[in-house]
Amino acid sequence: MKSNRGEKPDHIGDRIRILKDWLYQIEEHKEGKKGRIVSICNLKGGVGKTVTAINLSAFLAAYKKRTLLMDLDPQGHCGLGLGIDIENLDKSIYDTLSDGARSLTDTILPIKPNLDILPANIDLAGLETELMAESHRTTKLGEKLQSIKHLYEYIIIDCPPAIGLLTINALVASRMVIIPVQSSILSLYGLEKVMETIGTLMESFSLDIRVYLLLTLFEVNLRESWIVREKVKLAFGELLLNTIIRKNTRLNEAVRRGISILEYEPRSMGAHDYHQLAREIMEIE
C-alpha cells in the first residue's frame, strides 16, 4: 500500500532523499539572495541596449527570479518602455543617489510578479556634476546597492550611452557587463573603443567582472550580419554570447506600448530570442 504524502517515510533512503532536497532548497535560496548585478552598456545608442535591459529583466522574472531593473539613463526609456509616466514621478533614482540618507527602496516600483523597476528621468542628468565633488563618486551606486542586494537575484542596470560617472558607477558595482553590438560593419569600429574603455576601467578600479558581447538587430537574410558575427567571434571568442537577437519590429512595438515582448507577443521571434538570452545568462551565473 502506497503511503500518503503526509506520512513519515519508512525507509532510510527516503529520509536521505528528503534531507538532500531540503538542503538543496536552502542552498538555492541562499544563492538566489546574492544579487547578481548585470550592466547593459554601450557608448552609442540605437543598438538595442534598453530593449535588452527591459526584456532580459522580464524573462528572468518569468523564470521566478526576483529581478530589479535599474534605469541609469537620464532619458528614462526603461520606465517609458514599461508604461511608467516618468515626467510625474514622485521620486526617481536621482533622489536616492543624491541623498546619502535615502535608501534605494524608497524609489522602487513594482511592475509584475518578481519584477521591480528603479526609474529615472531627466533629473538624473545633473547627478554627474554633483558627484564630481564627492570622494566616493565612483562607488556611490555600489554602496547603495549593498543594502538591497539581498532582495533580488538579478539587478539589471541600463547604462547611459556614454562613459561618465553614471556608467562608471554601474560598472564598478557590476558582476557582469553585456555589450549589445549591432550586426553591421560600422558597429565594429566603435566596438574596439568600448572594449578598450571598459578594460581601462577594470584595470584602474581593479574590477572583477565578466564582459560579454550580444549581437542585436541581426538580419538573418543579410550576408553582412553573418560577416560581422564571424569577425566578432574570431576577435573575442567565448566573450560572444551564443544568443542572437534578431531584428524584429514587434520589439519596438512592445516598447511603444509600454510592455515587454513577453506580454505583447510571446510567440514572436523577439520573445524567443530574449527567452534564450535569459536562459544563457542564468547558466553563466
pLDDT in tens, 175-213: 999 999 998 888 877 787 778 888 888 888 888 889 999
- Alpha-carbon distance 208 to 178, whole Å? 14
Residue 13 lies in a domain: no
Residue 10 lies in a domain: no
> What confidence score (pLDDT) does residue 165 get?
92
Comparing 264 with 25, the larger pLDDT belongs to: 264
Comparing 170 with 13, the larger pLDDT belongs to: 170
Q: What is the mean pLDDT of the chain?
A: 87
- Number of structural domains found in the chain: 1
Residue 19 lies in a domain: no
Q: In this model, does residue 33 exceed pLDDT 50?
A: no
Backbone angles phi, psi at 218, to 5 degrees: -80, 125
Helix-helix angle 165-173:185-204, to 10 degrees: 70
> What confidence score (pLDDT) does residue 14 get?
52
Residue 246 lies in a domain: yes
Helix-helix angle 223-236:185-204, to 10 degrees: 20
Comparing 254 with 133, the larger pLDDT belongs to: 254
Helix (H) or strand (E) holding 274, with range, is helix 269-284
Identity of the amino acid at 6: G
C-alpha cell at 16: 536521505
Please state the rounded mean pLDDT for residues 55-70. 97
Give the pLDDT band of residue 24 (cuts 50, 70, 90). very low
pLDDT tens digits, one per residue of 110-153: 999 999 999 999 999 999 888 888 878 899 999 999 989 999 99
The 3-state DSSP class for residue 117 equals strand
Domain CATH for 180: 3.40.50.300
Q: How far is CA 181 from the centre of its chain?
A: 15
Q: In this model, does residue 229 exceed pLDDT 80?
A: yes
Residue 209 lies in a domain: yes
> What confidence score (pLDDT) does residue 53 get?
98
Q: Cβ neighbours of residue 48 under 8 Å, at least 6 residues apart? A: 180, 182, 216, 217, 245, 251
Please state the rounded mean pLDDT for residues 148-162. 94
C-alpha cell at 29: 535560496
Residue 280 lies in a domain: yes
pTM: 0.86
Residue 214 lies in a domain: yes
Domain, as residue range, for 202 = 35-284
Please check whether residue 282 is in contact with residue 60, taking contact to mean a CB–CB distance below 8 angstroms.
Answer: yes
Comparing 101 with 156, the larger pLDDT belongs to: 156
Identity of the amino acid at 32: G
Query: Would the CA dihedral through 174, 89, 97, 75 be positive or negative?
Result: positive
Residue 16 lies in a domain: no
Identity of the amino acid at 238: E
C-alpha cell at 125: 542628468
